[in-house]
Amino acid sequence: MELACYTQPHPFHCSLMGSEPYPPFPAAGAAQHQHQPQPSRARAEPQQPAPPQPRAAEPTRMIADPLKGRLYCKGRLLGKGGFARCYEMTDVNSNKTYAVKVIPHSRVAKPHQREKIMNEIELHRGLHHKHIVKFSHHFEDSENIYIFLEHCSRKSLAHIWKARHTLLEPEVRYYLKQIISALKYLHLKGILHRDLKLGNFFVNDNMELKVGDFGLAARRESMDQKKKTICGTPNYLAPEVLHRQGHGPESDVWSLGCVVYTLLCGNPPFETSDLKETYRCIKQVEYTLPAFLSTPAKQLITGILKRNPSDRLTLEEILDHEFFTKGYTPDKLPPSSCVMVPELNPPNPAKTLFAKVTKTLFGKKKPTIKKGPSEEKDDISKLVVGLMKTSICRQMSYKTVEGNEVTPVTCPSISCSPVETLAEEGSRKSVSRSIRGTAASSCEAFEECIPASAVTESAIGLLKSCLSSMPPAQRNPASLACHEHFAWVSKWVDYSNKYGFGYQLSNHRIGVLFNDGTHMALSADRKMVHYNLTNSKHFAFPMSAIPEQLQSQTSVLRYFASYMEQHLMKGGDLPSIDEIEHPALLLLQWVKTDQALLMLFSNGTLQVNFYNDHTKVILSKPDHSCLLTYVTKDRNSYTYKLSSIRELGCSPELQYRLKYVLKLLQERADT
């Protein structure tokens, strides 16, 4: 089955109503704030995960170096492995903080176990590189061996991945360059790391990456000698390691490819629920590349994950790959990127007219005093009310760019609320901007999920066949008097520059596709919340029993529901359907261009909303006979069998829209 696909927001994407920063989305488990999807002029600091507290069974105590007499204050637990635990420790005299690996003597009682620890110490103390965790010193007392290492305050890429699920390509390039720099140094010194994974890439206070944990590292005695021990983390093991053919530098490169895949796609490439099946997939190099990945990213991953080690890209070839040479790599990432999608600023970004308008409206940013959640919420509400009262959308005209031609577009008359106009019409203010997202479900309460790529391919085939064979006509065929009702998007809110894309279905179900690819839905009766983590993990909770980890997302979901209900008009006269009678569907992917919004759903439905006149085209298959529904600019809807249009033709205005939808789908299929 194809992996669920999703894409992070474009780095140039600005809010619909202003370019000022929004309140950040709290990480799972962080303090709950009910943020609202309107712009705020007050900058809020990103929520950082609360540091874990020391365990009650392991109270803070003093550790003394028996030879030098230096005292260290033992702090919180940072992590634990098979032989050791890692603690934060502070030198009492210098106040310097270390990450200290503590190995009980009882765990290394056998000679070969102690030899392993001593080899790790000897190897690590000889490494001096900007992107390798610095070794400081070590000592023993009657209970433990203590290895003092550089403290990385922002934990590891594993923690960042857990909070974010996926990273943007520029972020992956940023981290990957630093990892490769460290690996080149190690390999030149004849050292194999043998356990490259997210948890062994640490991030310091300056957002610099450091490769660490050399517990499985080993030296190559000669170029012909290879280490044949099976060691490392199962999901990242190379085929030759599993076949006991030896572990060389190419095996580290394989693990690096798995890391790249995991950061971009959200899961390791060979992960299954069964270890034997995982090993089989690795040996057969059997994995799936999600459709949402860029072509250079796909080519990079396939170039690394080759069964034959000699066929893999080298570290130098990775850096020379199109993924790096034609992609933007930031010089530094903001600390907030540890828990939320960063706002990156590549050199010479395109400046849209809307950005200029909002700069004129709001002026320069002013320093603000940090406010509490309730004050922040009040400020946001006041701003939106002010925008509605002044009806800003009536005072602005916008431009879209198609090729080299610049065409002025006048804002429509106020037949809808200003907020709705901003929500729908504002989406065309950026030049040919495409933003996508994905989620899927395997729960029986949801319709059988069709991959987004399959929906796209099917729609392309149907529209091609229809447009190529239908005769000329000046009017549409007769609309169906009665047909099976289907679910469609009646309202939507684009807040993807911070949280995600919200929508309301015609059955009154509310859905949000968050930027990290997860999907959350609120039932029509507002009693149940459905949460989709991946294409195989679906959870349902009563509204009264939402887990603490999902409280923040639920707050956003509830506010989206309230906002759309109060401020947005229904997008047409299509009848609503009962949620009980119709299986729930999920938004798989959405794409915004300068003219329209395209949405693909898990049941194969495709909907395209045109901004300029609010017309809509919906392709659906309620009875496996494709239907085409057209919502006109006066919000009246007409449903036809697509086969009837193919045989009888349709009006020029509908034909124009069908051709545009086909072109859009073909462009998406080629990327």
Residues involved in catalysis = 195
- What is the full DSSP assignment across 502-526? EEEETTS-EEEEETTS-EEEE-TTS
d(CA 649, CA 474) in angstroms, rounded, equals 8
CB neighbours of 185 closer than 8 A, spacing ≥ 6? 127, 129, 131, 132
Q: Is 110 annotated as a binding residue?
A: yes
Residue in 443, 586, 572, 571 with CA at minimum distance from that of residue 510: 586
Token digits of residue 187: 């390999």
In 3-state terms, what secondary structure has residue 30?
coil
In 3-state terms, what secondary structure has residue 473?
coil
Is-contact 231 125, C-beta < 8 A? no
Q: 430: number of CA atoms within 13 Å, CB side?
A: 24
Residues shown for the chain: 671
- Residue 91's φ and ψ, nearest 5 degrees, are -70, 120
d(CA 39, CA 26) in angstroms, rounded, equals 16
User: Helix H segments across 222-372?
Assistant: 239-242, 249-265, 275-284, 295-304, 315-319, 322-325, 353-362
Token digits of residue 455: 């929906």
- DSSP assignment letter at 387: H
Residue 407: in which H helix or E strand, if any?
A: strand 405-410
Is-contact 123 214, C-beta < 8 A? yes
d(CA 198, CA 427) in angstroms, rounded, equals 36
Q: Is 55 exposed, middle or buried (0-12, 13-18, 19+ CB in 10 A)?
A: exposed
Token digits of residue 625: 């006979």
Within 10 A of 588 (CB to CB), how many other CB atoms are there?
31
391-398 long-range contacts, CB within 8 A, separation 24+: 391/418, 392/17, 392/361, 392/418, 392/422, 393/418, 393/421, 393/422, 393/425, 394/418, 396/357, 398/353, 398/354, 398/425, 398/428, 398/429
- DSSP assignment letter at 24: P
Is-contact 339 159, C-beta < 8 A? no
- Annotated binding-site positions for ATP: 110
